[in-house]
Amino acid sequence: MNDATSFAPALRTPTRSFQDMILALHDFWSAQGCVILQPYDMRMGAGTFHTATTLRALGPEPWNAAFVQPCRRPTDGRYGENPNRLQHYYQYQVILKPSPPNIQELYLQSLAVIGIDPLAHDIRFVEDDWESPTLGAWGLGWEVWCDGMEVTQFTYFQQMGGFDCKPVAGELTYGLERLAMYIQGVDNVYDLAFNSAGVSYGDVFLENERQMSKWNFVVADTEGLFDLFAKAEAECRNALAAGVPIAAYEQAVEASHVFNLLQARGVISVQERASYMGRVRDLARSSCEAYAEKMTPEWEAKFPGWSLV
């Protein structure tokens, strides 16, 4: 027996390590049959933008996936000085399609797995409907409270890209940092234990937050950003025309993020804002529509009687 085969992973300690919490969630959702994906390799504002969520929410095929998605919210940057706000943070996304009947129980089990005892902590499902005009999407659900803190967004997708979800997918979005702060009993995100070997969240990300906040707010070349926006928009159209809607969708995601950066730079006026948002919405919806339409023959063949609209 060599060293490699004798390796056995250490017991996970999700209550004392950020990465163990993530790994415990991976273990749990993997056991539920989910595909464990890696983050989408693009800058995006929310895990919902990952194609594993948006595009896979379309169509009749079952789809179960879980992944961590880094999220970029340029305007939330606080130069590393605010204990709760970051311009870059992690979401844990689970997408279950069709939504299983025991989805709430599965979710609560996942909380137990990372160390939340529902008789010690007050868990509540509080109405919170979700809507993304950009994606032509909406759903009903809750924000899940743990002792009054929102730890998860729980949504039953009803529409995506302007199409009815047939079937409906259940989406769980865990706010990883705030959950970890809660579980580890830490008041400042930078004090989180990232692993069990003494590395903190601040060791990993504090300098990143300082520099990126400065870049987002002050440094980023706005002309270059406007140019990037226009190029992403053009490329999205190009990809749509060429019948590759996934590529078009990526450009829509790119345009969306560049728009967020322009916002953070404060160079988009109130009047222009609506127009830019309309353009991003148009790209995203066109891409989703094109994707759904391209896939429809295959979906209809696999699911006789199913129709897109």
The contact set with another protein (CB under 8 A) reads: 60, 84, 98-101, 104, 108, 117-127, 129, 139-142, 146-149, 156, 158, 164-168, 170, 182, 187, 269-271, 303, 306
Instruction: Name the token pair of 216.
Output: 């987002």
- The smaller minimum CB distance to another protein, of residues 44 and 139, is found at 139
- The smaller minimum CB distance to another protein, of residues 61 and 282, is found at 61
- The smaller minimum CB distance to another protein, of residues 70 and 167, is found at 167
Closest separation in Å from C-beta 268 to another protein: 12
Q: In sequence order, which residues have a C-beta less than 8 Å from that of residue 224 and are 6 or more positions away? A: none
Closest separation in Å from C-beta 230 to another protein: 25
DSSP string, 111-173: HHHTT--TTTS-EEEEE--EEEGGGTEEEEEEEEEETTEEEEEEEEEEEETTEEPSS--EEEE
Closest separation in Å from C-beta 110 to another protein: 15
Q: In sequence order, which residues have a C-beta less than 8 Å from that of residue 276 and are 6 or more positions away? A: 229, 259, 262, 268
Residue 306 CB: number of other CB atoms within 10 A? 15
| Amino acid letter, residue 76 | D
Closest separation in Å from C-beta 34 to another protein: 17
- The smaller minimum CB distance to another protein, of residues 244 and 308, is found at 308
CA distance 289 to 277: 18
- The smaller minimum CB distance to another protein, of residues 39 and 202, is found at 202
Closest separation in Å from C-beta 192 to another protein: 14
- The smaller minimum CB distance to another protein, of residues 165 and 225, is found at 165
Task: Give which of 141, 169, 160 is closest to 309, Cα–Cα.
Answer: 160
Residue 116 CB: number of other CB atoms within 10 A? 20
Closest separation in Å from C-beta 151 to another protein: 10
